[in-house]
Chains A and B, each alone.
Chain A
Amino acid sequence: MTMDISSREQAPAYVPDFPGLLASISREVPAHCILTRVDQTTAYECDGLALYRERPPVVILPETEQQVLAVLRACRAFNVPLVPRGAGTGLSGGATPHAQGVLVGLAKLNRIHRLDPEACVAVVGPGVRNLAISEAAAAHGLYYAPDPSSQIACSIGGNVAENSGGVHCLKYGLTVHNVLRVRIATIEGDIIELGGEAPDAPGLNLLSAFIGSEGMLGLVTEVTVRLIPKPQHAQVVMASFPSVEAAGEAVTRVIADGVIPAGLELMDKRSVHMVEPFVNAGYDLEAEAILLCESDGTPEEVAEEVARVESLFRAAGATRLQASGSEAERLRFWAGRKNAFPAAGRISPDYYCMDGTIPRRHLGRVLSAIAAMEGRFGLRCANVFHAGDGNLHPLILFDANQPDEVERAEAFGAAILELCVEVGGTITGEHGVGLEKINQMCSQFSREELDAFSALKRAFDPYGLLNPSKLIPTLVRCAEYGKMHVHNGELRFPDIPRF
C-alpha cells in the first residue's frame, strides 16, 4: 500500500532536463551507473519506511568520489534536486525519492581504505556496512560500537546521515560520539573535510551538525570511525517485574547507583508474548515487563556489576532473575529483543515502528497513555524500550488491507509523538525525521527554531537542492497542521520572544 505523497511538497510543476543532465556527465559517469528504466528504478522507490513511495526518474550509482562530484555539479548546473541514499534501511523516509530529482545511491563506495589498529581508527567509504567494519576490526580485538538493529545491512554513510544509535549507546554513544571525520562532496562540487583524527578540530563544530543531517547538507564520500577494544567478557541479567512502573523504578535504581550498563532494554508483556513463541528465548510469560541488563568488561568487573544489578533489581521487586550462564545463553536472551520487529510482522500483517524519546521518569505515564490510545484508535501496540536512554519504540500493529487502518496507525503514531514532546521528550530518538515526522517538527519547534535549521541548511546548500522537503516543515505545512499558534500550550505572537 502507498501513501499519497503529492501532498508532501514533492512536486514542482516542471520536468527537469534529465537528458541534458545525463549527457553532461556521460564522460565522467559510465552508463552502467545510471538507471532510468522503470524496471531498474522501481527498487529505489522507498527506503525502510515502505509507507512512502515515489519512483525516482533517474538513479545514479557512482563508483568513485570524482563521479559523485560530477553528479553534484550537474545537478547544480541543471537545478535538479538530489536525494542521497545508502543501503535504504532508514525508517523515516529520509531516502524517499524526489519526483523531479535524481536519486544518488552511494552503496558502491564500499571500500575499507585503511584500518589502523595502533591509532584505533578505520577509514571507510560511505557504502561500507556497519557490521563489516567490526568484522574487519575483529582480527585486532577492536570493533565499531554503534550497533543499530539493521547493522548487518545499513551503511556507515546512512548512519552518519541519521546519527544512528543501537542497544549499547548508553555506555558507548551514538554515531556522533564515534565518528572522527567525514569527507563531504558539497553541492558546489567541492570536497571538504570536517573533524579529523586529532581530538579537536579548529573552528565551529560542523562535524556534529553534519552528523544526523539526513543527507541535506552534503554527500559523504569517506568516514573515519573510532574503533574500541572488545570487552573481554559480557553477561546479561534477565529480570521479570510485576508492572512496567516497577521495571522503570529498577532502571532508576541501577543508574542512580552509578552503574552504566552496556545495554538496558525493557519489553512489555505484549512484546514478550509476541517474541517468545518466535525465538524461544526463555522469557517469563507471566511478567508484566522484562528487563535485560548487560554488563561488559573484565570477568571480575562483570561479576561485580552483575551482583550489584541483581541486588538492586531484587530490591525493586523483581519476581524472577536469571543471569546468562554462557555466551550462547546471553545471545539467546538478546535474540528475543533483537527480533521484536520481525516478531511483530509475524503476528500482524503490518506494523508501524515509532521512535520517541522520553525522560524515563515518565515511562509509566506514557505507557498508560499508549494503552488508553489502543482503544481510541482501535489498534494494538507492543512496546520495546531502550530503558537506559529513554528511547521508546512502540510497535503499532495494523492491517493495511482493512479500510482506514493505515490512517489510524499514522494518527496513533502521531499521538504518541505528541505525548513524547509533552512530557519533555522528542519525536525521534534515532530514526530521524525524514518525511515521516515532518508534521511533528511543528509541535517540537517554534517557527524561529525551524528558521535556524533552514539557515544552517543554506550555509551548506544555498540552492536548496540536497534532499529538499525533508526534516524542515514549511510555514504552510505547520499552519495546516494546526500547531503554528499553539506551542507548549501557549498562544504565540510573532513580535514577542517566546518561552
Chain B
Amino acid sequence: MMDFVLSEFCDRVATARAAQRPVHIRGGGTRAFYGEPLAGEGGPERVWLDVSPYHGIIGYEPSELVITARAGTPLAEIEGALAERGQMLAFEPPRFGSAGTLGGCVATGLSGPRRMAAGSLSDFVLGARLLDANGNVLRFGGEVMKNVAGYDVSRLLAGSLGVLGAIVEVSLKVMPVPRRETTRVLEADEARALALCARWRGRPVPVSATAWLDEGGAAGGRLYVRLSGNESAVAQAAASIGGEALEAPADARFWQALRDQQHAFFGRRPLWRLSVPPATPPLGLGETLVEWQGGLRWIAAPLEAGADVRARVQAAGGSACLYRHDGETGGHTVFHPLAAGVLQIHRRLKHEFDPAGLFNPHRLYPEF
C-alpha cells in the first residue's frame, strides 16, 4: 500500500497540475541558496511540496554497503547511523545545518573534500524513486552496485535541482571509514601547491583531501593534505610528503569547516565556485581557496567581472557557478551557460519529463 504521506504528495502534485500552478520542492531548506533565485510572486501562486515529512531509513545493510532512506531523512541521521557501523558517505557531502535532508543533498549534488579520492555524489547513487509530473512514483536503479537495466535515470537525478520531479527515496553506496587519517600542512604558494597535487595524483599516495589557503606565511600560503588508509600506508605517505602535522582534534575540525563551508572565505559575496581540470595553473582571478587537488577553486569576484571569469574558466576547460549571490545575479545565469546542443537536450528532457513545466521552474536554467 502507498504510504499515506507519499500519497498526499501525489495528490498535491496532481492538484497543482490541474490548477496550472508551479510546484516548488523543499526539504530542510538549508540549500535553498543554491541555484537561480526564485522569481518574485506574480504568476500563478506556487505550491510548496515539503518533502521533509517523508523521512526515515528504510534499509541499511552494512555488509552490502548500501543504505536506502526516504528523501526527508536528515542527512545527520543517515551519517549517524553509518558511523555506528564504521561506515560513511564517502563523497563527504556538506551540511549547512541540522535540518538538511538526504533529498536536498542528492538534488543539489554537492560533494565535499573527499570528492577526488572517493568519487562524486552521483557516483554513489544506486537507485532512486521519483515523484513525476503525472503524480506517479517511479523507481530507477536499485540497491545493488552493478545494475545496467535501463538508462541510469537515478544518477541523472543527482544534481537535477528537482527540475525532473521530486526525489522521494534514494539508495546510496556507502564505504568503510578509513582506519587512519592524518593531516599534514605544507608551506606553499598556489602554483607550488598545484604542482605537489599533480605529483601525488600520478602515484599511489593515499591523499583523501587537499585545501590550499592564501594564509600568508613564509611561502605565501598553506597546503593542507589529508591522508587516509591503513596505518602503514598513511605513516609512509606522511613521511614522504613532509610538512607539519595538524594534530587532533584540530584536523577534524579543519576538514569539517571546509566541508560545511564555514571557513571565513565562504562568507564572501558574491562567491564563485569554479570547477576546472585539476592541473589548471593558477587562474589569477584574485584571492582563491583551492580544493579537490586543484579541481575546485573558490573566488570572490564582483558581478561585473562575471563575464571575464566565465571566459577564463571556460578557456581552461571548466565552468563557473555563481554559488552565493544573495539573490543578486547581475544578469548572469547562476550556472555556467550550456553549449547549444547540450541545452537543446536539456530542454527536450524537461519537456518529456515535465511537459507543463511544473517542477522547480527556472531553478537550474532560466530557459526551463
Contact = CB atoms under 8 A, between A and B. Distances in A.
Interface of A: 116-120, 140-142, 162-163, 165, 169-170, 173-174, 176-177, 186, 190-194, 196-206, 208-209, 211-213, 229-232, 251-253, 255-256, 258-260, 297-298, 300-301, 304-305, 357-361, 386, 389-391, 424-433, 437, 441, 444-446, 448-450, 452-453, 455-460, 462, 471-472, 497-499
B149 interface: yes
Contact of B153 (A193, A232, A456, A472): A456
Q: Name the residue in B1, B6, B349 with the highest tally of chain A Cβ atoms < 10 Å from its Cβ.
A: B349
Contacts of A433: 148-150
Contacts of A252: 63
A62 B364 CA distance: 38
A141 B203 contact: yes
Contact of A118 (B140, B198, B232, B345): B198
A430 B148 contact: yes
B317 A197 contact: yes
A300 B160 contact: no
B353 to A, nearest CB: 6
B151 A209 contact: yes
7 contacts: A259-B176, A445-B150, A449-B150, A453-B150, A458-B352, A459-B345, A471-B151
B147 A140 contact: no
Contact of A204 (B7, B147, B160, B296): B160
Nearest to B295: A199
A199 B120 contact: yes
Given A209-B156, A252-B63, A204 B143 contact: no
Contacts of B36: none
**9 smallest beta-carbon distances between A and B, as pairs:** A258-B176, A300-B232, A208-B155, A455-B352, A429-B146, A197-B277, A192-B341, A200-B275, A459-B349
Contacts of A449: 138-140, 150
A187 to B, nearest CB: 11
Interface of A: prevailing SS: loop
A230 B231 CA distance: 20
Interface stretch (B21-29, B128-136, B182-190): B128-136
Interface string B325-358: 0000000000111110111011011011100000
B346 A203 contact: yes
A499 B151 contact: no
Nearest to B337: A202
B201 interface: yes
Contact of B147 (A229, A426, A446): A426
Given A205-B122, A360-B64, A428-B148, A199 B115 contact: yes
B153 to A, nearest CB: 6
Contacts of A450: 150
A460 B319 contact: no
A426 to B, nearest CB: 4
Contact of A212 (B142, B152, B319, B343): B152
A198 B275 contact: yes
Contacts of B233: 297-298, 300-301
B309 to A, nearest CB: 14
A304 B146 contact: no
Contact of A205 (B109, B132, B365): B109
A213 B151 contact: yes
Interface in B145-200: 145-153, 155-160, 163-164, 175-177, 179, 198
Contacts, number: 275
Contact of B142 (A386, A425, A446, A498): A425
B278 A199 contact: yes
Contacts of B3: 499
B278 A203 contact: no
A304 B277 contact: no
Contacts of B137: 497-499
B8 to A, nearest CB: 12
Contacts of A163: 148, 152
Interface string B61-98: 11111100000000000000000011100000000000
B317 A196 contact: yes
B341 A191 contact: yes
Contact of A260 (B86, B157, B176): B176
Interface of B: 1-3, 6-7, 10, 61-66, 85-87, 109, 115-116, 119-120, 122-123, 132, 134-140, 142-153, 155-160, 163-164, 175-177, 179, 198, 201-204, 229-233, 236, 275-279, 292, 295-296, 317-319, 321, 335-339, 341-343, 345-346, 348-349, 351-353, 364-365
Contacts of B7: 497
B156 A205 contact: yes
Given A205-B156, A499-B1, A432 B202 contact: no
A395 B286 CA distance: 61
Nearest to B109: A205
A390 B341 contact: no
B336 A298 contact: no
Contact of B146 (A198, A232, A389, A497): A389
A203 B156 CA distance: 10
A255 B136 contact: no
Contacts of A176: 123, 152, 155
A199 B291 CA distance: 11
A255 to B, nearest CB: 5
A198 B341 contact: no
A212 B143 contact: no
Contact of A361 (B61, B163, B164, B204): B61
A120 B201 contact: yes
A431 B149 CA distance: 9
Given A177-B119, A232-B204, A425-B144, A202 B319 contact: yes
A258 B151 CA distance: 31
A448 B138 contact: yes
A72 to B, nearest CB: 13
Nearest to B164: A204
A446 B150 CA distance: 12
B231 A304 contact: yes
A471 B255 CA distance: 44
A298 B236 contact: yes
Q: Name the residue in A162, A177, A472 with the highest tally of chain B Cβ atoms < 10 Å from its Cβ.
A: A177
B353 A455 contact: yes
Given A203-B342, A300-B233, A448-B132, A358 B348 contact: no
Contact of B204 (A200, A297, A427): A297
Contacts of B122: 205, 208
B15 to A, nearest CB: 14
Contacts of B179: 258
Contacts of A459: 345, 348-349, 351-352
